[in-house]
Each structure stands twice: as C-alpha cells, then as structure tokens.
C-alpha cells in the first residue's frame, strides 16, 4: 500500500525528519487560505497522487503570486495527472499540498528498503538526487552509495559517516544526516514499511537538510497491525479492479496483455503467465483464486477478469489438489452462464476428477474449449485472442 506525500511527511515529522511546512488543500479556496496561513510571498503547490515524476508532468508548481496559486489549483484539482509512472490514464488529483518554498543548493537521494538477498536493511543514497533514480542506477551505478544494516546491530555511526562523506556533506550536516537516517530507520520499523524514499533530500542554501519529497510504501502483509496507517488508503488512486479483488480476497494484479488468466495457486499463476508469453501471447492479469477455490469465487474471478476491456480470451488453469475438478467445472459453467462471457474461454483442468470436470464442460453446450495440457491451453488461448483481434481489426 502507498501513502500520499502529505501523509508520508506527517510520518516524517513524527520521526524528526525535517520537512517543509505545508497545508493540505482540497479546493482552490483552501489553497489560497493555506498560502495565507503559511505567510510569505512564494509557495509550492504539489498534486497529491500515488506517483513520482509529478514535477516533469506539471504537478509541482512554484507560485509567486496568489493568482498563480488559484490558477494552478484550478488547473490541477479534479483533473488527472499523467506521469511516466501513472500509465496513460493518469491519476485523479483530489488534493494539493501547499508548502513554503525551500531554497535548494543541492538535491540528494536517500532511501531505505529491505534487501532480501542479504537479509539486511539497505540505505541507498546518491548525490544525483532529484532525477529518476532508476536512470542513475542504470547509467551511473558508481553514483549510488549503499549501506547495509544488520537488524540485530542497527545503524552504526561509521555507516552514517560513510554515506555523509560520500554525499559530500560536511561538519554539522553529517550529524543532521545521522538524525535523519535514525528517524528513517525507526519510521521504517514502526510502520512496517517496505520502502521509504526521499527524492530529493535537499541541502538548503543555509546548509540544512530537508526532505522535499516523501514516499512511503507499506508492507500489505503487516497492515493488520497498522490499523491507523491502513485507514489512510486512498482507493481513488488504485487500480479499481485490484481494489475490487482485495474485497473478495482474490490475488489480482492488472497487466497490459489481452489474455485473462484464472489460476489456483500463485506459483501456477506465474507458470501460466510464462506459458502464455512462450506461446506468443500476453497476459492481461495475474490472478490467483486461492487453493480452496469454490464455484462462487470462480464466478467472482470471472467477473473481475471480464470487467477489463482489454481481455480477448480467458485461460482457466486449475490444478485439483485440494479442490475437485468437477466442482470447479460446475463453478465455471455457472459463472459463464451468469456473467454471459462474450470472449473465448479455454480451460485446462488437471488433478482430482479432472476427466469428469472436462466432460461436464464439453457437455455443457457452452463455448468453452478444453485442453489437457498447459501448453495446449496456452496455445489455444493465444490463438483465440489473436483471432478476436483479427476480426476486430477487420471490422475497423
């Protein structure tokens, strides 16, 4: 789960990580009132969306006059902001963070995450902040500094100094960096985060360190014990199908392809996506209906897959270990009737009562193709989807 920048900055504040003063605004009037309350004659207006890259997309505006504030608020609020991370549809802007301006001398990068391979916390830092860090990592990997922290030992002063000197900081700035990294480390643990990122962390004209941007990703598996943070979720910023799936306890991720996949078991779902790719197709989603798939869950999963207009064929791949394939077949038949599936469906059943299940599907009279192997199923689904595409193109 993500947090908005203003929420992340509240967490920063609570952990003594310096951030600019700011006020959240939901209307142009509130934005003007926020400027008044902050005082001064310049303000920074920042669109609150679950995405970075807002600066380049026009979502961060430095305003020198009140008219510019209302102009920016009018232009941003109620619109969708398209960034290089958001996808072509963009994300809805429903609130703005109005901040006092910061005089920037240098833009640094600092983040904290879990590095699974080394089983350590990993601080990443770079003197090339402000820009896309993936690009820095790809083009100038030597500009990325890494510090690994053992969870039983904690952050050590020498590690702070190493990063500090590597970033070109001096004197009191190293001490400030130490406080900031300690704060980041506590925040990370206290909130069960999976990533905390400050890009840019700025050195101000006065030489202070300030977190100008704030990104926090929370570990979904720990949300049950992070009630207050879990309540901050903003469904308007999330993929609507993924939100719907969460309500039904289905493990669903939207992807770009045109073949809807319904599978029981995460490993099998991954293998299915690989097979689709291998046969020249592209999956429209990852979906694990779970080990104890019931007819009702299968129906929900079908509805979810078919609510995606990109889907041109559905591939169902069920392994009947705990579940019986005849029950799954019943669920599929019920779902296909109920949901009125308008695209080709290919089903591969394997395991307990598979033959019975396949026979039921064949005798149902529904336009459901069956396959006995996963390879054959993938092949049929890819062919069905491309036929659909060909006929659609024929019409156009």
- Which secondary-structure segment (H or E) carries 92? strand 91-92
257 touching ligand GDP, by CB under 6 A: no
Max intra-chain CA distance, the chain: 79
107 touching ligand GDP, by CB under 6 A: yes
For 388, the token pair is: 């659909």
388 binds, among ligand GDP, Mn ion, none (CB under 5 to 8 A by kind): none
Any known ligand binding at 168? no
Q: How far is the CB of 158 from ligand GDP (least distance, A)?
A: 30
**Which phi and psi (to 5°) does residue 369 adopt?**
-90, 145
Told to judge if 185 belongs to the known catalytic residues of this protein, a careful annotator would answer no
Which CB atom, from 214 or from 346, has the smaller least distance to ligand GDP?
A: 214
Any known ligand binding at 236? no
44 binds, among Mn ion, ligand GDP, none (CB under 5 to 8 A by kind): ligand GDP
Which CB atom, from 215 or from 241, has the smaller least distance to ligand GDP?
A: 215
Catalytic pick among 6, 50, 109, 185: 109
- Which secondary-structure segment (H or E) carries 279? none
Q: How far is the CB of 213 from ligand GDP (least distance, A)?
A: 3
Contact between 81 and 93 (Cβ < 8 Å): yes
Which CB atom, from 213 or from 350, has the smaller least distance to ligand GDP?
A: 213
Any known ligand binding at 54? yes
- Helix, strand, or coil here: 351? strand
Residues 77-96 that bind ligand GDP (CB under 6 A): none
102 binds, among ligand GDP, Mn ion, none (CB under 5 to 8 A by kind): ligand GDP
Burial of 378 (0-12, 13-18, 19+ CB in 10 A): buried
How many Å is the Cα radius of gyration of the chain?
25
200 touching ligand GDP, by CB under 6 A: yes
Q: How many chain residues touch ligand GDP (CB under 6 A)?
A: 17
Told to judge if 197 belongs to the known catalytic residues of this protein, a careful annotator would answer yes
Q: How far apart are CA 183 and CA 383, in angstroms?
A: 54
x/- binding map, residues 121-160, to ligand GDP, per CB under 6 A?
A: ---------x------------------------------
Q: 4, 9, 15, 54: which one contacts ligand GDP (CB under 6 A)?
A: 54
Contact between 290 and 263 (Cβ < 8 Å): no
DSSP notation for 109-165: EEEEEEETTTTEEEEEEESS-SS-HHHHHHH-GGGEEEEEE-TTT---HHHHHHHHH
Please identify, among the stretches 43-51, 151-159, 211-219, 228-236, the one whose residues bind Mn ion according to the rule CB under 5 A: 211-219
Q: How far is the CB of 67 from ligand GDP (least distance, A)?
A: 19
Catalytic pick among 5, 197, 330, 350: 197
Contact between 351 and 268 (Cβ < 8 Å): no
Give me the numbers of helices (H) and strands (E) for the chain, helices first please: 13, 18
Q: How far is the CB of 131 from ligand GDP (least distance, A)?
A: 8
Q: 13, 30, 53, 162: which one contacts ligand GDP (CB under 6 A)?
A: 53
Which CB atom, from 168 or from 321, has the smaller least distance to ligand GDP?
A: 168
Omega before residue 200 within 30° of 0, cis: yes
DSSP notation for 4-64: -HHHHHHHHHHTT-----EEEESSHHHHHHHHHHH-SS-EEEEE--S-S-TTTTT-EEEES
By the criterion CB under 5 A, which residues form the site for Mn ion? 199, 213
Query: Residues marked as binding for ATP?
Result: 46, 53-55, 99, 102, 107
By the criterion CB under 6 A, which residues form the site for ligand GDP? 44, 46, 52-55, 60, 62, 101-102, 104, 107, 130, 199-200, 212-213
Query: Residues marked as binding for Mg(2+)?
Result: 199, 213
């Amino acid at each position: 789960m993500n947090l908005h920048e203003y929420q992340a900055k509240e967490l920063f504040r609570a952990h003594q990580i310096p951030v600019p003063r700011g006020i959240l605004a939901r209307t142009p009037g509130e934005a003007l009132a926020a400027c008044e309350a902050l005082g001064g004659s310049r303000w920074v207006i920042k669109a609150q969306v679950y995405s970075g890259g807002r600066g380049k997309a026009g979502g961060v505006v430095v305003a020198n006059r009140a008219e510019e504030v209302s102009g920016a608020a009018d232009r941003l609020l109620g619109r969708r902001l398209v960034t290089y991370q958001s996808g072509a549809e963009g994300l809805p802007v429903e609130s703005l963070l109005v901040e006092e301006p910061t005089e920037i001398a240098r833009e640094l990068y600092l983040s904290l995450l879990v590095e699974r391979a080394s089983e350590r916390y990993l601080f990443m830092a770079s003197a090339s902040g402000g820009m896309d860090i993936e690009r820095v990592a790809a083009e100038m990997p030597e500009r990325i500094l890494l510090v690994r922290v053992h969870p039983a030992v904690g952050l050590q002063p020498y590690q702070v100094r190493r990063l500090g000197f590597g970033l070109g900081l001096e004197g009191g700035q190293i001490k400030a960096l130490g406080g900031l990294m300690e704060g980041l480390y506590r925040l990370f643990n206290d909130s069960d985060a999976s990533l905390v990122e400050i890009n840019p962390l700025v050195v101000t004209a006065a030489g202070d360190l300030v977190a100008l941007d704030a990104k926090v990703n929370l570990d979904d598996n720990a949300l049950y014990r992070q009630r207050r943070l879990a309540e901050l979720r903003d469904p308007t910023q999330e993929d609507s199908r993924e939100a719907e799936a969460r309500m039904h306890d289905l493990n669903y991720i939207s992807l770009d392809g045109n073949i809807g996949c319904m599978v029981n078991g995460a490993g099998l779902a991954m293998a299915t996506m690989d097979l689709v790719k291998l046969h020249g197709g592209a999956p429209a989603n990852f979906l694990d209906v779970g080990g104890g798939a019931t007819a009702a869950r299968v129906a929900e999963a079908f509805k979810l897959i078919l609510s995606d207009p990109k889907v041109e064929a559905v591939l169902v791949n069920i392994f009947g270990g705990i579940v019986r394939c005849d029950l799954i077949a019943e669920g599929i038949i019920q779902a296909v009737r109920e949901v009125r599936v308008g695209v080709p469906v290919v089903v591969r059943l394997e395991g307990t009562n598979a033959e019975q299940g396949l026979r039921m599907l064949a005798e149902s009279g529904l336009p459901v193709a069956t396959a006995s192997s996963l390879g054959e199923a993938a092949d049929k689904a890819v062919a069905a989807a491309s036929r659909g595409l060909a006929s659609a193109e024929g019409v156009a």
